[in-house]
Structure 1
Amino acid sequence: MQNLKFDQDIKPLSEVRNGMASFIKQVHETKRPLIITQRGKSAAVLLDVHEYVLMQDKLELLTDIRTSLNQLNKGEGVSHETARKKLLGRIKP
């Protein structure tokens, strides 16, 4: 996802409502999110679908890493050498 350009990527709801197709095109082409404001405060974010999926994938990976680190800190993991032996033992006849 590209970095936000504050002068281009923050729009009031009334402007977005009147030109939704052009804003969807902008988000799709620039890969930048569009912040939609209502009464001067941020209210919603419009994202390109592909960028949203990538963001969800990254979040899932980070969650898995955090879970793994917590398990290791609790002593619930196995050493690299033990895991390696188990995997190699499964693929050798």
Structure 2
Amino acid sequence: MKVELVTTLKRQATKILADLHISKEPVLITEHGQPSAYLVDVQDYELMQKRIQILEGIALGEKAIKEDRVISHSVAKEKLSKWLK
């Protein structure tokens, strides 16, 4: 992963962004020697967000199973058939 100072980002933003788009490698921005932010390609960021949503859905499903808040396929199909008419 590439690491850049915030002052370098301020001075060379166009170059850093161009490199980011080519390499697709995230850039860690530091301030006073400490990590401050990541720059990531828009497509990579959107893909990460979609993955997070999928993982959150899986976690909710697992929680529902643990709490016994599930129904069988046949019961679900019967309930939905009333709505789909």
Length-normalised TM-score, structure 1: 0.76
Deviations 1:41-89 (A, max 9, x none): 001111111111000000000000000100011111124x537x828x9
Residue 86, structure 1, aligned to residue 77, structure 2 = yes
SS of equivalent residue, structure 1 residue 19: helix
Give 5+ residue unaligned stretches, structure 1: none
**Among residues 37, 40, 49, which one is paired with 1:47 in the alignment?**
40
Alpha-carbon RMSD: 1.9
- Percent identity over paired residues: 22
Number of aligned residue pairs: 80
SS of equivalent residue, structure 2 residue 35: strand
- Counting helix residues as a fraction of each chain, which structure ranks higher? 2
Length-normalised TM-score, structure 2: 0.83
4+ runs of 1 displaced by more than 6 Å? none
Kindly provide the amino acid, as one letter, of the partner of residue 86 in structure 1: K
Give 5+ residue unaligned stretches, structure 2: none
